Amino acid sequence: MPQLIGGLLLLCLVIAVVYLIVRYVLPALIVAGAVYGAAVALFNYFQALGQNVRPERVSS
């Protein structure tokens, strides 16, 4: 019987940890990923803009 109670407690603990991860860690990761993606996109955009603005010399 004590093994059953220990197993149930362990199961509850695992469920609680998974719930906390899904509730708090996952949204934070999604937000961090979105911010990172936006930063990379903006960086690439301005880099491309800077390359287009610069006059390129054509050597013939």
pLDDT digits (tens, 9 = 90+) for 9-47: 999 999 999 999 999 999 999 999 999 999 999 999 988
Residue range 42-55, pLDDT digits in tens: 999 988 888 876 55
Rounded CA-CA distance 45/52 in Å is: 11
List for the chain the helix, strand, coil content (%; round to 5): 85, 0, 15
The whole model's pTM is what?
Answer: 0.53
Question: What own/partner pairs with CB < 8 Å and gap ≥ 24 does 31-39 have?
Answer: none
Both structure tokens of 47 = 């880099």
Task: Average the pLDDT over 52-60 and give the result.
Answer: 61
Determine the pLDDT at residue 50.
82
Alpha-carbon span 33 to 37, nearest angstrom? 6
